């Protein structure tokens, strides 16, 4: 298998030098800076199907998928056509359009217990708004979140976060007022007894427990048996809301999201990524009674000029229409499972300790001897080895997330040829980082 060198990414280097003069760190999202893996960022020129192409003409099998949204593959012809047609009628109206209700109907139909949704433009906006609504409905101020779970750059939630924050070893962001941080209570992920103890002491002041049902920002960490069910029970006992942050897992691991696999019904659910098909679209939703507390029906205010914009709605509608086809998630899950299994076998043959797993079109890997069940476990993984592995895979034409704290994704466009390429590259890369 041929490999690339830094000399084959000259245009990326030049663009990064240019970007650093006018963009903070040369990037618009910190993880893109490659600080966790070394080297310089690769600049993407275009993407189609299961591939991304950089500005130097190199092609990579993409396991990032724009961090999840590209579930049907990049630049799917039907999605592109729908976006072009919508754009020709106007990029944004700042007014109602029919496609808003159509996308909302799809989401409501897919998720039992959700009667109404509010469309927004980002996952951060969805989680922020869901928490405001939970506080309004309960009359309480505090929120319980889990160490290593990331729910966007909301002030009160940038406390011991994962993802980009953990990558830089600074889980508490500067600029967050102390009083905001004090409104957030922390517990270890997958530790139900810790949650029960916290709620026994502070339950009367906690408005909501917010959780990633599959944690995708400390790698890929699945819930222990009974964990989510236990959160539902403890919320019921203390009158708190349970919020599922399915910005990453919603419509990615199953039709509707992980809540349809685990059969645990939260009070509020947040979606993003897949529901926009790559456009900036997100949503949150719940029962009619709860959602009616939002303005203009209720006293809880939230608004957005670009919410429900027609181009995003067009992209989301076609993407979800493809996802709803018979057998879509079975086929997607089989691809992710095949890839996780192939990586596991390749690592074992190279003598490299690795943990892998998958759910639907989401999968993960961690350089660890033992299972990864929480953020402490994730921090103990061999991130230095991941950095070397990342570079080895990039040089062999495989696009991984530039951080060991991130989950990975396959799309409907990935076929046996692309998956075999990834496993073949991994065989060589594992051997190169074995010592």
- Residues involved in catalysis: 150, 245, 273
Closest to 254 in 3D by CA, of 151, 152, 406, 362: 362
Cα–Cα distance measured from residue 412 to residue 391, given in angstroms and rounded to the nearest whole number = 26
Beta-bridged to residue 185, according to DSSP, are 144
408-409 and 362-366: which strand pairing? antiparallel
Using the Cα atoms of residue 395, residue 401, residue 403 and residue 404 in order, give the sign of their dihedral: negative
Please check whether residue 385 is in contact with residue 365, taking contact to mean a CB–CB distance below 8 angstroms: no
Beta-bridged to residue 282, according to DSSP, are 120
Cα–Cα distance measured from residue 96 to residue 41, given in angstroms and rounded to the nearest whole number = 40
142-146 and 184-187: which strand pairing? parallel
Beta-bridged to residue 241, according to DSSP, are 208
Cα–Cα distance measured from residue 282 to residue 271, given in angstroms and rounded to the nearest whole number = 5
Cα–Cα distance measured from residue 294 to residue 100, given in angstroms and rounded to the nearest whole number = 17
Cα–Cα distance measured from residue 95 to residue 6, given in angstroms and rounded to the nearest whole number = 48
Beta-bridged to residue 186, according to DSSP, are 145
Compute φ and ψ for 108, nearest 5 degrees. Answer: -60, -40
Cα–Cα distance measured from residue 185 to residue 145, given in angstroms and rounded to the nearest whole number = 6
What element of type H or E holds 47? strand 44-48
Preceding peptide of 296 cis, ω within 30°:
yes
Cα–Cα distance measured from residue 377 to residue 307, given in angstroms and rounded to the nearest whole number = 38
């Amino acid at each position: 298998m041929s490999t690339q060198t830094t000399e084959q990414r000259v245009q990326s280097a030049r663009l990064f030098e240019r970007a650093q003069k006018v963009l903070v760190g040369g990037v618009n999202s910190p993880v893109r800076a490659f600080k966790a893996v070394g080297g310089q960022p690769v600049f993407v020129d275009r993407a189609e199907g299961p591939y991304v192409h950089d500005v130097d003409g190199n092609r990579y099998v993409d396991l990032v998928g724009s961090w999840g949204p590209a579930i049907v593959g990049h630049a799917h012809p039907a999605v592109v056509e729908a976006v072009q047609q919508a754009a020709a009628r106007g990029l944004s109206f700042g007014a109602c359009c029919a496609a808003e209700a159509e996308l909302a109907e799809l989401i409501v139909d897919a998720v039992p217990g959700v009667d109404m949704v509010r469309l927004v433009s980002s996952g951060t906006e969805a989680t922020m708004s869901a928490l405001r609504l939970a506080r309004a409905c309960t009359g309480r101020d505090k929120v319980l979140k889990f160490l290593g779970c990331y729910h966007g750059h909301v002030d009160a939630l940038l406390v011991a976060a994962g993802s980009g924050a953990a990558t830089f070893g600074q889980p508490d962001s500067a600029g967050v007022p102390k009083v905001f941080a004090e409104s957030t209570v922390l517990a270890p992920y997958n530790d139900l007894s810790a949650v029960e103890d916290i709620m026994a002491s502070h339950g009367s002041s906690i408005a909501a427990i917010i959780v990633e049902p599959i944690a995708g920002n400390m790698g890929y960490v699945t819930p222990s048996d009974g964990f989510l069910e236990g959160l539902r029970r403890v919320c019921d006992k203390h009158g708190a809301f349970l919020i599922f942050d399915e910005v990453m897992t919603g419509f990615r691991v199953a039709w509707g999201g992980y809540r349809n696999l685990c059969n645990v019904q939260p009070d509020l659910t947040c979606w993003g990524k897949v529901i926009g098909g790559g456009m900036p679209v997100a949503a949150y939703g719940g029962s009619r009674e709860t959602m009616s507390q939002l303005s203009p029906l209720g006293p809880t205010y939230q608004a957005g000029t670009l919410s429900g914009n027609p181009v995003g709605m067009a992209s989301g509608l076609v993407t979800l229409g493809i996802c709803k086809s018979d057998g879509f998630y079975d086929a997607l899950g089989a691809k992710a499972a095949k890839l996780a299994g192939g990586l596991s076998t390749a690592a074992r043959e190279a003598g490299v300790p690795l943990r892998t797993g998958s759910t639907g079109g989401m999968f993960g890997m961690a350089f660890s001897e033992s299972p990864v069940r929480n953020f402490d476990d994730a921090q103990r993984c061999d991130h230095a080895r991941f950095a070397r592995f990342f570079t080895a895979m990039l040089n062999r034409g495989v696009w991984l997330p530039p951080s060991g704290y991130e989950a990975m994704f396959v799309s409907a466009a990935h076929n046996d040829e692309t998956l075999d390429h990834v496993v073949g590259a991994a065989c060589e890369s594992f051997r190169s980082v074995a010592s």
